[in-house]
Amino acid sequence: MVERAEITGLVLAGGQGSRLGGVDKGLQMYRGQPLARTALERLSPQVGRVMLSANRHLDDYARWGVLVWPDPADLAGYQGPLAGFLSGLQHAETPYLVTVPCDCPQFPADLVARLAEAMHDGVDLVLARTDAGPEPAFCLMRRSLAADLRRYLESGERKVGRWMAQLRRAEVTFDDPAAFFNINTPDDLAR
């Protein structure tokens, strides 16, 4: 079991948003508020501190008073969520990092507490899942994974599942798949 104060929360907003026409997804309005802001508000009470991962409009995000980190500069181009994981692991000052994507505005209020219950000696990372399958962007991990993840990305690998498969994993099943409703298209933003 890990205490809340030992966990830094990272909102992932660094993607390409190609299914939304290439816009910066975290800044898109959903129910009157930018998506990344909703994610930060939902995550903040669950962790000791929060940060945000972005690759565009860093100043716009920083205006909300949150620490914003771009993906590691030496890993060129868009690399997918693992680049955000690495940036978070490198900047976190707590022993644990938990990630959430910016595009799931209804994720569970007890997400981090439940992931933290499953973090034990012998576990490197804990993933959320529903009956529909794993939700790998919702991941509690040890900060000490930074070196392993850097080696993985430097070797040219990008796939989240393949990186996680070689680690000691635990999974926590959440009953309500609707809580992981994911915004990918303009229609989703209007729901």
Ligand X SMILES: Nc1nc2c(ncn2[C@@H]2O[C@H](COP(=O)(O)OP(=O)(O)OP(=O)(O)O)[C@@H](O)[C@H]2O)c(=O)[nH]1
The answer on whether 103 is annotated among ligand-binding residues is: yes
Of positions 52, 83, 112, 153, contacts ligand X by CB under 6 A:
83
**Count of positions on this chain that bind ligand X (CB under 6 A):** 23
* Identity at 112, one-letter amino acid code: V
State yes or no: residue 136 binds ligand X (CB under 6 A). no
Single out the segment in contact with ligand X by CB under 6 A; choices: 7-15, 111-119, 143-151, 163-171. 7-15
How far apart CA 35 and CA 79 sit, in angstroms, is: 21
Single out the segment in contact with ligand X by CB under 6 A; choices: 56-64, 98-106, 141-149, 173-181. 98-106
State yes or no: residue 80 binds ligand X (CB under 6 A). yes
CA angle 176, 180, 184 (to 5 degrees): 145
The answer on whether 25 is annotated among ligand-binding residues is: yes
State yes or no: residue 102 binds ligand X (CB under 6 A). yes
How far apart CA 85 and CA 71 sit, in angstroms, is: 9
Binding mask 37-56 for ligand X (x = CB under 6 A): ----------------x-x-
Q: SS3 letters for 56-116?
A: CCHHHHHCCCCEEECCCCCCCCCCCHHHHHHHHHHHCCCCEEEEEECCCCCCCCCHHHHHH
CA angle 166, 81, 13 (to 5 degrees): 155
| Footprint (CB under 6 A) of ligand X, residues 55-74 | 55, 71
Strand 67-69, strand 96-101: pairing:
unpaired
The answer on whether 12 is annotated among ligand-binding residues is: yes
Nearer to ligand X, 96 or 138 (CB): 138
The answer on whether 110 is annotated among ligand-binding residues is: no
Short-list 131, 129, 141, CA closest to 167: 141
Minimal distance, residue 82 CB to ligand X, in Å? 8
Known binding-site positions for Mg(2+): 103
Q: Using CB under 6 A as the criterion, which residues of the chain lie in contact with ligand X when the complex forms?
A: 12-19, 25, 53, 55, 71, 78-81, 83-84, 101-103, 137, 184
